[in-house]
Structure formats: C-alpha cells, structure tokens
Structure 1
C-alpha cells in the first residue's frame, strides 16, 4: 500500500486540477479519506466564500482517495452521479473533506462526503455519490 505522500502524488497525477489547487491528502485508509483544500483567492465566488465548483471538485477527489485506499493506489473508476447539498457558506478559509465508502459492489460504489470549513464542526456541504467501477488494466 502506498504511503500518504505516494497516494497524494497518484491523486495529483490523476487529477491535475487537484495539484493546481494544492489539495492535500491528510489520511486515507479502509475506504475513508480526509483531504484539505487550502484557501486560494481564485476559488472564491461573490460573497467571499469558496465556490460550489471548487467544493464539488474537492468532494470528487476525496471519494477517489477513499477508493484508492482500498485498491493499493490503483483505481480507474469514474463518477456516475453526485448529489450535493450546500448547507452554509464555507467562507474564505481552507476546507476539509471527509469521504467514506458506504457500499462497494462489483460494478458500483456508493459513498458520502462531508465538507466543513477548517476549524468548524458545522457542515458546509453534504454530498452523496455513485461511481462506476472500472478495473485497472494490468
């Protein structure tokens, strides 16, 4: 199993936008992952809060990290649906994403991602997602 630094490199190669945004992998194990999106002025929307597209991108990468934690860093599965409920503005601060797989089948994966502003216990978004399982070529 790759360590966190190796796993973060896999994520940054697989999703170059995550690298451009500076997304950090803080933990990944057993179908769960914790990621951090650092504050970046270019991710703000009017109202001085992190934009919805940035939050959705973070959530998507977090779920992939949770999948990678079960597949030794090799997973080519893709998002097939995402349901996002924005609960409150994140603000102009770093955002944490906690992802967990709820059901992992042969063809589909279902998971949940909780987003919160760093330093806050209140959720800024609740996301559920389905992924289509694609087995990596060997």
Structure 2
C-alpha cells in the first residue's frame, strides 16, 4: 500500500511543481515501490524528425520516480533527484508517453529506481532510465 494516496500525489505534482502541471500528467498506478504515469500527447512535444523530445521523456521519468519514492516514504516534498541517467532505445512515436517505474533499493538517505518509458500501445520501451533520489533527514522533508 502506498504511503501517499494517488490523488494527493497527483495534486502535489500539478500544483507544487508548475512545469509538471503544464504537462497534463495522469497518475495511473501508485503502489508501494511502483508508479505508472501517462503524459497525454501534444504537438509541442515533437522535435525535428517527428519524435517526442528527450526533455519530455526525462521529465516523465523523473516524476514517475518521485511517485515511486513517495509511495514508500510518504509526502516528503524535499526528496530530490540527485542523478538521472537516460538511455534512449528507439524513437517514440507521436502518442501518449507512459512511464512505469519501480524501486531497486531504498535506504535511509538514498533511493534508487528504474523507469521504462513506452509509447502508448507499444510493447517495446523507448527509453530506460535509472534515478537516484536523496531523502532528507527525518523531520526536514515535509
């Protein structure tokens, strides 16, 4: 069971992180150590060559990982990304992007996870992302 309700996490993302609010994300799954988020396709996400831009893909991966971490530690707004490594595997087609993330290791101060990104309806991932989040000391994160 997630330590932050899905609706609360979605509201946190939409209202407290203005850029994420502009993306129109929809949280589809939020369970302990697992999160799935969708970004509805928009024409302004396309870069030359007709593919969804890298910054949009990395933003999705980062917000998915935020969900994974908060699902385990609760609403700790000051948990922050310390590393994000993205391997672009294939061109995402002009469609919704879906990020599916899970935890690999949760420690007292760091959380490490991975996110697979998909073009909606496709079986093969378009990117593989690993993320590390810093967790603030108890009592300083909310």
Relative to the length of structure 2, the TM-score reads 0.90
Task: Indicate the SS of the match to 2:126.
Answer: strand
Query: Unaligned stretches of 5+ in structure 1?
Result: none
Q: Deviations over 1:81-133 (max 9, x none)?
A: 11110000111100100011110111111110000000011010000111111
Aligned residue in 1 for 2:15: 13
Q: Please list, as runs of the form range in 1=range in 2, the aligned pairs for 1:35-114 lying within 5 A after superposition.
A: 35-114=37-116
Correspondence for 1:115: 117
Greater shift, 24-33 or 9-18, is seen at 9-18
The CA distance in 1 between the partners of 2:116 and 2:97, in whole Å, is 10
Displacement of 1:75: 3.7
Mapping for residues 127-138 of structure 1, pairs under 5 Å: 127-135=129-137, 136-137=140-141
Normalized against structure 1, the TM-score is what?
A: 0.93
Q: How many residues align?
A: 138
Separation in structure 2 between the aligned mates of residue 75 and residue 102 of structure 1, nearest angstrom: 20
Query: 1:60, CA displacement in angstroms?
Result: 0.3
Contact 2:79 2:141 in 1 (8 A): no
Change (3 A) 1:137 1:18: closer
CA–CA separation in structure 1 for the residues paired with 2:23 and 2:96: 11
Q: Give the corresponding residue for 2:27.
A: 25
